Structures are given as structure tokens and as C-alpha cells.
Amino acid sequence: MIFLKTDEEVELMRQSNILLSKMYAEVAKYIQPGVTTARLDQIAEEYIRDNGGIPACKGYDDFPNALCTSVNEQIVHGIPSDRVVLKDGDIITLDSSICLNGFHSDSAYTFPVGNVAEATLRLMRTTKEALYKGIEQAVTGHRLGDIGSAIQSYCEKAGYGVIREFVGHGIGRDMHEDPEVCNYGRRGNGIVLKSGMTMAIEPMISMGRRHILIEDDGWTARTIDRKPTAHYEHSVCVRNGKADILSTFDYIQEVLGDRFI
């Protein structure tokens, strides 16, 4: 069942998403060669709690941490560890959710670590652009398939693989609500979008083939061919004429400066 949000509820969701966005900016200050993903998680959890939020990933289906940290060929749901030390040329996706005032936020961002290969930067750029292509479709009267179709065609044209096993989702009082928001699909297919629908749109795109496996920890998803993947996510509210993006990358941009892509 899809829950349409009132304007007041949307504003609460925006507050939750702004806190999440600021948390990423704080963690971004520490992303450099030599840092462990466990340390990044610790910074994230402290920031969330200090600001009155609840780290919603921690304990969700027994996920152990506040932050998902997925490095290079890892797509999503990487578990922070003091044995994972970032090195020059890596990319790392941070993905997390906060519950604030009863409402969840969700966004994700793939960061460069030191000097990243041009081909990988292109993957990151294309994935972020695909996110915005999808968001453009999240307006009243369009259909769910328009979002997936826009993302898929943009990324496949660039020669990349679109991960199918993980999808975006409705979001609100629960982290995952209906509907599922696929990153592939056909224009004109699926339900009609209505004002007040809130959803997380989150393309996960691979430089190589789209096929995945789950590592032995039971959580971490990676590409079978071990080619790198990027993942950018915003929470949005469907509106008449223009999607309302509830999360923001502006705080991340302030920290990354000219390394922001």
C-alpha cells in the first residue's frame, strides 16, 4: 500500500534528509587513504545520535552498523570493518538512513578516495546524471516505468550495466514502503504517480556486467566480474510539474570542493 504524505509530513521527511546529508558531509572530511570503514561508521553514528536521530540501518534485518560502506566492486550493503582500509584510487559508497521525528530519510553517495582513474570518474558522473534523469520523471501523471526507463537507457547508452537485484522504494514512516522503484523498465508501464508520493530513487550502475553475488558475510553485494560500481540516491516527493528533492548533495559539495563531480 502506498501512503501519500501531507505537506507537513513531507517537511518532516526533509528535516530527516537534511540531517542525513549533513552527516555524509561530516564523514566526507575523513575519507582519505588509510582510514578504515569502521572509523567512518563510528563518525556517522555519533553525528546522527548527537543530532537527535536514530541510525535506522543499525539493527534493520540485523544489519550491524549505522552506515553501509561499499568499496569499488561492492555495490551496496557493505559492512564497515576495521580491516577495510581505504587506499588511493578507491571509490566508496556511503548509504544510510536516519529516523528523525518518526520519518525516514535515505540517500547514498559514491566518493573518490585520493586520485581516481578517469574511467571510474566517468562511471560516477554518469550514475549521478542518471539519478537526475530518473528524478525528472517523478512528477504527477507520469508512470513508475518512466523513471526506470530513463535511468536504464541513459546508463546502457554509456555502455554500463544496470543492477537489477536492488531497487529504489517508497519511504516514510518505514524505510522501505511501496512501491518498488526499479532502475530499469519501460516508458508508460507501471502505476501512475500521484502528488504526495515519496520515494527513494537509487541507480546502482556497473562499469562491466550487471551480474552480482552476495559475499560470505551475507550482506555485501558485489559484481561478479569485480568491475567497479557507483550508486547515488535521493529521496524525492512527487509533485505537479517538478519533483521535490528532499535530500541534498550541497553539504557534500562544500566539503569536496573541486573534487565534487
Binding site for Co ion (CB under 5 A): 106, 200
Question: Least separation, in Å, of the C-beta of 106 and Co ion?
Answer: 4
Among 31, 37, 66, 77, binds ligand MF3 (CB under 6 A): 77
DSSP SS3 for 207: coil
Angle between helices 7-28 and 37-50 (to 10 degrees): 140
Give the shortest CB-198-to-Co ion separation in angstroms.
Answer: 12
C-alpha 251/C-alpha 201 separation (Å) is 19
Handedness of CA 103, 104, 105, 111 (dihedral sign): positive
**CB closer to ligand MF3 out of 68 and 116:** 68
* Of 13-21, 57-65, 85-93, 144-152: span binding ligand MF3 (CB under 6 A): 57-65
63 binds, among Co ion, ligand MF3, none (CB under 5 to 8 A by kind): ligand MF3
Cβ at position 233, least distance to Co ion in Å: 6
Residues 92/109, Cβ–Cβ less than 8 Å = no
Taking CB under 6 A as the criterion, the residue among 17, 21, 93, 97 binding ligand MF3 is 97
Residue 181 within binding range of ligand MF3, rule CB under 6 A: no
193, interface contact from Co ion, ligand MF3, none, CB < 5-8 Å by kind? none
Q: Please report how the helices 118-136 and 144-157 are oriented relative to each other, as an axis angle in degrees rounded to 10.
A: 160
Helices marked H in the chain — which ranges?
A: 7-28, 37-50, 118-136, 144-157, 250-256
